Chains A and B, each alone.
Chain A
């Protein structure tokens, strides 16, 4: 009988981590549905980028208030997880405060966890106020209705509850220590919970024990639930920000990628020795002609899909987008959210049917409209500002490519511009022979 708590703990731990791993494998599987793109170069620069941007939060602090609060929550999250290690060991082996032998170091650790827990709590409350009371515009764009709005708040509530449980647990523990209760050795410093502890003054040892154990269990179960919540939430960025910044495009932002399939055809057209009547041979005849651009998530590359899962819907991109600021329906954040939602839909389809069965839907039109795509000025403001290195622009360009090269569905003004370039080498209808006229006008 005495081992029941240990067994329950181990079961909860295995179930919690197991389900999380299962879902993470789905995320990886879905990201791999994307086309190949080589990002194996420049390992040093990539590591540096990851260290600066993900670990060092260098782009977060470009907006000082949100950046500062985010760093507190982020450091709190990282440091307080050391405590989780102790909780896990205690849970498995029925020990209590296994690291207490560290003495002064332990006091310091617990003391700093408590201060961080308080700071995290305050930070999260300010975040909540920014979303729900001050109502910062970027949290109230049309794409933030319903689930995305609730999701953002749920995460904040989760963190508030977890921090409270941690402090209540310590407060009860401190009382038990002072009462000299069995098991509750005197260890740790409690700079924050010592002020909660007086609330439990005069409680019996049993009551305190129940409070301490309940807080302990809810804290660790809460962490496991939160871990599993990530997959269903925008909150995956706490993990994916690292690979996402590592695999970020390191080329100048103005450089759009080159479509190899097009290069092959263009070189063939330009080759005076090419046989214009040659029929495709061998593999070429068998192969399905390559699709140009993207109309669905599987036409995008895996980095773009990783981007979609990494997006935490902060909306900095949308708040700096010139099209969005002037009332157009384009929102770079929505591009990322749509890509992720469609990718999840495709993934669920595969889970259900074994392999993808056409559902009559695609990213283009069912999620992202042509009007959104054509409103982009390709100014790179969204890419520049993203704190985790996402490029909504690359998806917009790939979808424009599909519209133009597969569907000839460009706005008519652009068709005029393109036929001018084709016919006379300029976007306007001027004769190429007149190119130097300016010099003697």
Chain B
């Protein structure tokens, strides 16, 4: 897989004396995780498609500190936050978009008190705004009529009350949108939050992601839509655990929109 896409950095913009419309915060998963990188690329394609003037921090980006804060390491979190804020404030960043609800929550809610006050959007909110402004076209393509269920990421949904943006986008794809019995504010966690992604679960009788995948499979979907790289991993593992990987795909909302028209 070798496909070079143009991704300008803030440093390049700075050198040219320009400022982009929005900073795309890629996040650790989006930068390093093989599965999440595909989401990152799909989102970048959509940004190009909508002629969004964006840039990334590239090697100047560092973990927001979310997993450290949730694990209880406030020192490490604040060190990360203050360092990132210094970089972003130096570039006079005003608006940030990210495809990771954990980065989104941390940047939006936990950076302001430390001096980093930005207009932060989750990529589904940002894509929805592009759609509303007529800059991005989202319409039925490949996925028209497909059975799709959306898994609410905790850090997008309950944590920040964003439930409709991803659903609005999926509806535009003219898919058959199915709701799980537990959805929106009652949505069950995928099991990755609160730094669980990076450790083995405590002893129990089931893995959370399997429980959640069962909710999703009950809707008999062709595709499980996600809006978070960690949920994506957990649900993908859950589908494998249920040996359904041949019939059910797990895709990010950005991937669905980009793939619908083979961008």
Residues of A within 8 A of B (CB): 251-256, 258-259, 262-263, 265-267, 269-270, 292-293, 320, 322-323, 325-330, 371, 374-381, 383-385, 397, 399-405, 410-411, 413-414, 416-418, 421-422, 425-428, 430, 432-441
Would A403 and B41 count as touching, CB distance under 8 A?
Answer: no
Q: Is B159 an interface residue (CB 8 A)?
A: yes
Q: Which 3 A-B pairs have the closest CB atoms?
A: A254-B159, A378-B194, A400-B72
Which chain B positions have C-beta within 8 A of A327?
Answer: 203-206
Which chain A positions have C-beta within 8 A of B206?
Answer: 325-327
Which chain B positions have C-beta within 8 A of A384?
Answer: 158, 185-186
Instruction: Choose from B74, B208, B212 the contact partner of A292 (Cβ within 8 Å).
Output: B74
Nearest residue, chain B, Cβ from A413: B199
Which chain A positions have C-beta within 8 A of B90?
Answer: none
Q: How far is the CB of A63 from chain B (nearest CB, A)?
A: 11
Q: Is B247 an interface residue (CB 8 A)?
A: no
Nearest residue, chain A, Cβ from B66: A427
Nearest residue, chain A, Cβ from B56: A436
Q: How far is the CB of B236 from chain A (nearest CB, A)?
A: 17
Q: A377-B191, A400-B72, A426-B31 are in contact. Are A436 and B7 (CB under 8 A)?
A: yes
Q: How far is the CB of A184 from chain B (nearest CB, A)?
A: 55
Would B71 and A322 count as touching, CB distance under 8 A?
Answer: no
Instruction: Choose from B31, B105, B158 the contact partner of A435 (Cβ within 8 Å).
Output: B31
Interface size on B, residues (CB 8 A): 76
Would A428 and B73 count as touching, CB distance under 8 A?
Answer: no
Q: A327-B204, A403-B72 are in contact. Are A428 and B105 (CB under 8 A)?
A: no
Which chain B positions have C-beta within 8 A of A293?
Answer: 72
Would B69 and A256 count as touching, CB distance under 8 A?
Answer: yes
For window 55-76 of B, CB contacts with A under 8 Å fall at 56, 58-59, 61-63, 65, 67-76
Q: Is B161 an interface residue (CB 8 A)?
A: yes
A440 CA / B2 CA spacing, docked (Å): 7
Would A323 and B114 count as touching, CB distance under 8 A?
Answer: no
A400 CA / B195 CA spacing, docked (Å): 11
Q: A384-B185, A413-B199 are in contact. Are A427 and B82 (CB under 8 A)?
A: no
Would B191 and A375 count as touching, CB distance under 8 A?
Answer: no
Nearest residue, chain B, Cβ from A419: B76
Which chain B positions have C-beta within 8 A of A330?
Answer: 202
Instruction: Choose from A251, A258, A377, A418 the contact partner of B189 (Cβ within 8 Å).
Output: A377
Q: Is B109 an interface residue (CB 8 A)?
A: yes
Would B9 and A376 count as touching, CB distance under 8 A?
Answer: no
Q: Is B37 an interface residue (CB 8 A)?
A: yes
Q: A374-B199, A421-B68 are in contact. Are A255 and B109 (CB under 8 A)?
A: yes
Would B158 and A253 count as touching, CB distance under 8 A?
Answer: yes
Would A397 and B72 count as touching, CB distance under 8 A?
Answer: yes
Instruction: Choose from A266, A320, A435 the contact partner of B78 (Cβ within 8 Å).
Output: A266
Beyond contacts A377-B193, A435-B58, A438-B40: 19 other A-B pairs, Cβ-Cβ < 8 A, are: A265-B75, A266-B78, A322-B189, A322-B211, A325-B208, A327-B206, A374-B199, A377-B192, A379-B189, A381-B154, A381-B158, A381-B189, A383-B158, A416-B198, A421-B76, A425-B28, A425-B62, A433-B59, A437-B31
Which chain B positions have C-beta within 8 A of A428?
Answer: 28, 32-33
Q: A259-B74, A375-B202, A414-B71 are in contact. Are A266 and B79 (CB under 8 A)?
A: yes
Nearest residue, chain B, Cβ from A436: B58
14 A-B interface contacts by CB (under 8 A): A254-B159, A270-B86, A292-B74, A322-B189, A326-B204, A371-B202, A380-B154, A410-B71, A410-B73, A414-B199, A421-B65, A439-B5, A440-B2, A441-B1
Q: Is B160 an interface residue (CB 8 A)?
A: yes
Q: A266-B78, A327-B204, A397-B72 are in contact. Are A440 and B194 (CB under 8 A)?
A: no
Would B62 and A426 count as touching, CB distance under 8 A?
Answer: yes
Would B74 and A401 count as touching, CB distance under 8 A?
Answer: yes
Instruction: Choose from B86, B110, B203 the contact partner of A328 (Cβ within 8 Å).
Output: B203
Instruction: Choose from A259, A377, A435 the contact partner of B196 (Cβ within 8 Å).
Output: A377
Would A322 and B195 count as touching, CB distance under 8 A?
Answer: no
Interface centre among B28, B83, B113, B186 (most CB of A within 10 A): B28
Which chain B positions have C-beta within 8 A of A422?
Answer: 76, 79
Would A254 and B105 count as touching, CB distance under 8 A?
Answer: yes
A371 CA / B202 CA spacing, docked (Å): 7
A426 CA / B67 CA spacing, docked (Å): 10
Would A270 and B82 count as touching, CB distance under 8 A?
Answer: yes
Would B202 and A329 count as touching, CB distance under 8 A?
Answer: yes
Which chain A positions have C-beta within 8 A of B59?
Answer: 432-436
Would B114 and A258 count as touching, CB distance under 8 A?
Answer: yes
Q: A255-B105, A433-B59, A439-B4 are in contact. Are A326 and B71 (CB under 8 A)?
A: no
Q: Is B207 an interface residue (CB 8 A)?
A: yes
Would B159 and A417 count as touching, CB distance under 8 A?
Answer: no
Nearest residue, chain A, Cβ from B37: A438
Would B80 and A425 count as touching, CB distance under 8 A?
Answer: yes
For window 148-198 of B, CB contacts with A under 8 Å fall at 154-155, 158-161, 185-186, 188-189, 191-198
Instruction: Choose from B161, B200, B205 the contact partner of A326 (Cβ within 8 Å).
Output: B205
A414 CA / B70 CA spacing, docked (Å): 11
Q: How far is the CB of B233 from chain A (nearest CB, A)?
A: 12
Would B193 and A421 count as touching, CB distance under 8 A?
Answer: no
Which chain A positions have C-beta within 8 A of B145?
Answer: none
Which chain B positions have C-beta within 8 A of A262?
Answer: 74-75, 78
Q: How far is the CB of A262 from chain B (nearest CB, A)?
A: 5
Q: Is B254 an interface residue (CB 8 A)?
A: no
Which chain A positions have C-beta within 8 A of B80?
Answer: 421, 425
A377 CA / B192 CA spacing, docked (Å): 7
A21 CA / B86 CA spacing, docked (Å): 54
Q: How far is the CB of A322 from chain B (nearest CB, A)?
A: 4
Q: How far is the CB of A14 from chain B (nearest CB, A)?
A: 47
A374 CA / B204 CA spacing, docked (Å): 13
Interface centre among A256, A292, A371, A397 (most CB of B within 10 A): A256
Which chain A positions have C-beta within 8 A of B159?
Answer: 252-255, 380
Q: A375-B201, A425-B63, A432-B62 are in contact. Are A402 and B72 (CB under 8 A)?
A: yes
